Chains A and B, each alone.
Chain A
């Protein structure tokens, strides 16, 4: 036993060699950009590079705090992301519980196969579909036409746009969201159901007293971890669906950061807004992990 250990100790360098390529990539593309954050505190001039650009201290921080656009997009971000979490959270739980009651496995598998599908398609593909079905001549307006509702461009209206975003996000993700609950449901001891039948419990009572308590820990865990997404309203989705008509209510932090950088070429401001968002986001995620550990004793790592 000890001989193996001693032998392996002389080979430990092999493990460091194995991990080295990955470490090089992380340094290049994850740690070097951290140094690039400096441009949030500089007047970044692409011709001079990061180091030679002049320092401006907190100029862009002060500028950002006074910019009405920043407050508008922060509001929109929290509004859209918050409603996505709030309204999207119960849907997969409900669907998983309903699937759990299905006894015909071909029906269950069929439903699962279909509802998982949108998860695997990119937001570009889905935006192609959504822009078509919600267009003035799309199937949604045709359907509403049967009830005498005039065609309306829901994606070009500030009141309806956030709701389309929330609804289509739930549409994409609810099916896949059931997987984790279905996995938890298979972990419930069947003996509990058997003994409850002897005690005279019907299906409804079983759901209420065995099934739901069985998945409560995982429900609490996903609820806590989803709090880390309060600032993530969905860049890929909104970037592909928004348009100049809905900037008031549809523009979010991430789309704003992109436009400030690549359309207005104000690199320093974009980096500053991105940095503040990133810091707050990390704090939220760490708080979520910490809470999850305190409450459910679940270690994410």
Chain B
């Protein structure tokens, strides 16, 4: 009797559990599906508030309008360029900093000084205005470098990779050192190939960080034609982008609402395309980061 009762209780619990989780997942994806459907609907349907989870009067006119604007294509290119440059710089600096920091203070005099120097700026920084003044005084305003140089050292990634390297047995390098190899040779021939899983993880961290960043564009680009895509979206979303409002009046099938939706998805596209990799490697990074050497 009690066994039967248990089974039913467990089953009921199981069903409720599945339903609640499915509901949570649905809530997470709902705004995306809804706005995607709006962006693919006619302006009439969108403004009459007829669109739920499926496009009404399906049309890709909004995307055509967005992608025919040279400003959008230019912003897409600026974002691509800064992401490639930024990821490259972040990766090189992560590797070059994590390797020495993973050595003991005996092998690397001053390790603690470097380490604390890095941790200090993680805890305390000059803040908005002083950083802006430095970037301004270095003559970086309106230049691509303002988007990549201030965040060139990704401290979190350095610590992540350092913890990974600390776990590697030191014998791995010893044979090479016996043969007279330099630290540079060991790093490029032995350590980097062994660290590929971590490098893949931090590469994706840096990719998402650069692609998603909109604030440095807003701060350091006084010329709006130099905005990266996310900063451009920011002004579209906040209603500061007059061109979008004009386009909404110019074409019959589109409205301010469908255009904004389309701009959101054009901006999110690279993240959505790479999402399966992002999910896998980000999860790995969390697990790697919580393992201490």
Question: In the complex, what distance in Å separates the CA atom of A278 from the CA atom of B123?
Answer: 9
Question: In the complex, what distance in Å separates the CA atom of A135 from the CA atom of B258?
Answer: 13
Q: Which of chain B's residues 90-137 have a Cβ closer than 8 Å to chain A?
A: 92-93, 96-97, 99-101, 103, 107-110, 114-115, 117-119, 121, 123-135, 137
**Interface bin, chain B:** 35 or more
Query: A299 interface residue, CB < 8 Å from B?
Result: yes
Please give me the residue from chain B that is nearest to A50 by CB atom: B133
Contact between chains at A301 and B159 (CB < 8 Å): yes
Question: In the complex, what distance in Å separates the CA atom of A19 from the CA atom of B287?
Answer: 26
Query: Of residues A29, A133, A179, which shows the largest number of chain B Cβ atoms within 10 Å of its Cβ?
Result: A29
Contact between chains at A110 and B25 (CB < 8 Å): yes
Query: A213 interface residue, CB < 8 Å from B?
Result: no
Please give me the residue from chain A that is nearest to B211 by CB atom: A122
Query: B208 interface residue, CB < 8 Å from A?
Result: yes
Partner of A183, one of B119, B123, B275, B287: B287
Question: In the complex, what distance in Å separates the CA atom of A236 from the CA atom of B271?
Answer: 18
Residues A115 and B128 in contact in the complex (CB < 8 Å), given A122-B212, A129-B32, A130-B31: no
Contact between chains at B34 and A139 (CB < 8 Å): yes
Query: A37 interface residue, CB < 8 Å from B?
Result: yes
Contact between chains at B107 and A12 (CB < 8 Å): yes
Contact between chains at A113 and B279 (CB < 8 Å): yes
A residues neighboring B (CB under 8 Å): 4, 7-8, 11-12, 14-16, 18-19, 21-23, 25-26, 28-37, 39, 49-50, 95, 98-99, 101-102, 107, 110-118, 120-122, 124-133, 135, 137, 139, 142, 171, 174-175, 179-180, 183, 202-204, 236, 240, 257-258, 261, 267, 270-271, 274-275, 278-279, 282, 285-286, 299, 301
The contact sample of 11 A-B pairs, CB cut-off 8 A, is A18-B187, A22-B97, A36-B133, A115-B28, A117-B29, A118-B28, A120-B279, A129-B35, A132-B35, A271-B127, A286-B123
Residues A30 and B121 in contact in the complex (CB < 8 Å), given A22-B97, A128-B35, A179-B283: yes
Q: Which of chain B's residues 6-24 have a Cβ closer than 8 Å to chain A?
A: 6, 10, 13-14, 17-18, 20-22, 24
How many contacts between A and B, using CB within 8 angstroms?
A: 252
Query: B68 interface residue, CB < 8 Å from A?
Result: no
Known pairs A98-B21, A102-B17, A202-B6 / 18 extra A-B pairs, C-beta < 8 Å: A14-B183, A19-B96, A19-B114, A25-B152, A28-B149, A33-B130, A34-B125, A34-B126, A50-B133, A95-B21, A101-B13, A124-B214, A125-B212, A132-B31, A132-B257, A183-B287, A204-B13, A285-B123
